[in-house]
Structure 1
Amino acid sequence: MIDALRKIIKRMHYPLEVMLTCVCWYAAYPLSLRHVEEMIAECGVFVDQSTVSRRAIRLLPVLEKIFRKYKRPVGRSWRMDETYIKVKAVWKYLYRAVDKEGKTIDFLLTANRDRAAAKRFFDKAIAANGTPEKITMDKNGANKAAIDEINADMEIAMVVRQIKYLNNIMEQDHRGVKRITKPMLGFKSFQSAKSILAGIELIHMIRKGQLMMEGAGDLSFADQFYALAGKIRPI
């Protein structure tokens, strides 16, 4: 386990297995914090919903970081788009990309929807996954301007296709994230939104079979989630 995870575990008043169960439920299913509190109580354990919230904000980004060490390589034909996420009653923007097989490439929550935000997303995605051959997107001028700026510094430019129907796979993939965030009724802060969304995207990638860890193929998505923290799922 990385040092950040050790520090979180050290300060916990509950066993790690209990908190992992609560956090996994919250990130994997369309549940409110109160739902998670009630469900874990049915298992004979009382955990306040505020505790679940705090631990989710701390644990999920760390587990997502660990996951990236074992993430399967993605294809070189990308589909990119952004969707809306409400933070403190204000819409923010979640930039996302998948390859032509639907595997998640990367994601980034931003306060603005402009060329600078799009470029930050592309820089992050390319740094982690390599340079794609093609990028398909809608006709958003800011996204095209960001790619043009990146292409200007490259020997072999990425092919950009602004064809909406080719991006349907991206639109469909947004639903896997949005259905989880809907019962949350918006986030209270930008930082908490980033943390929880990292966990939702993590679960989404595990379900797509993107964890390249020994024996992962024989485990359920929940067991793979626990394995990232070096734990076995409690029965």
Structure 2
Amino acid sequence: MRWVHEFGPEIDKRIRPFLKPTNDSWRTDATYVKVKGQWKYLYRAVDSRGKIIDFMLSENRDMQAAKRFYTKALSSPHNQIPRVITLDKNPAYPPAIQELINEKFLPKETLIRQTKYLNNIVEQDHRFIKKITKPMLGFKTFLTAERTLKGIEAMHMIRKGQAVDNSFALSAVEWVNKIFGLAT
């Protein structure tokens, strides 16, 4: 696990410049991850085609955490400004988005939809994360959870084909070797 904690964030950092652009229809949801016996919140967003927009682990599920997540997602260079954001019924999302609109991070025309069934894409994408984290029986610290989840999400992006390479198609192992400058 020391390797995961060390290289998970590094892989995430190194693939960011190679990510393909996402579209402007966002689906946002939060799922639960157990850290030190308590549930923490993993905010995740995908576009309408299932490409990962961004993710963030948070101790709270409130307006400040939602605003931090959207600010992080909007600052990523591979993401487009959303035309529409589909949310679940969490009451913290609309005020956070409205604050970002007031601060001019988002255009006024951004449509906010709070519909449970349109979020099935992100709900299904949670399955992959849960499949890996469930056998771990939780994390010991928030920092190790954050680092491990960065690595899991980065590898998930590579496997989904979100990392672009113009020369030829690469497997996940070849991609990791390439971004670390290792010979294959």
Q: Normalising TM by the smaller chain, what interval?
A: over 0.9
Flag structure 2 segments of 5+ consecutive residues without an equivalent: none
Q: Which has the higher contact order (CA 8 A, sep 6+)?
A: 2
- Give 1:221 deviation, angstroms: 2.0
**Runs of 4+ in structure 1 displaced over 4 angstroms?**
none
From 79, 88, 101, the equivalent of 1:138 is 88
TM normalised by structure 1 equals: 0.73
> How far apart in 1 are the matches of 2:64 and 2:23?
25
Question: Are 2:45 and 2:54, in contact at CA under 8 Å, matched by a contact in 1?
Answer: yes
Are 1:74 and 2:22 counterparts? yes
- 3-state SS of 1:213 partner: coil
Q: Which residue does 2:122 correspond to in 1?
A: 170
From 152, 157, 172, the equivalent of 1:205 is 157
More moved, 155-164 vs 105-114? 155-164
- Give 1:183 deviation, angstroms: 1.2
Q: Which residue does 2:41 correspond to in 1?
A: 93
Are 1:84 and 2:32 counterparts? yes
1:1-235 matches, cutoff 5 A: 53-128=1-76, 129-154=79-104, 155-215=107-167, 217=169, 219-233=170-184
> How far apart in 2 are the matches of 1:113 and 1:157?
26
- Give 1:142 deviation, angstroms: 0.3
Question: Are 2:63 and 2:96, in contact at CA under 8 Å, matched by a contact in 1?
Answer: yes
1:89-115 CA distance string (max 9 Å, x none): 110000000000000000000000000
- Give 1:143 deviation, angstroms: 1.1
Question: Are 2:15 and 2:179, in contact at CA under 8 Å, matched by a contact in 1?
Answer: yes
Question: Are 1:216 and 1:224, in contact at CA under 8 Å, matched by a contact in 2?
Answer: no
Higher fraction of strand? 2
Question: Are 1:223 and 1:232, in contact at CA under 8 Å, matched by a contact in 2?
Answer: no
Residue 59 of structure 1 aligns with an amino acid whose one-letter code is F
Q: How many residues align?
A: 180
- Give 1:216 deviation, angstroms: 5.0
- Give 1:232 deviation, angstroms: 4.1
Higher fraction of helix? 1
Cα separation, partners in 2 of 1:153 and 1:101, compared to 1, 3 Å: same
- 3-state SS of 2:92 partner: helix
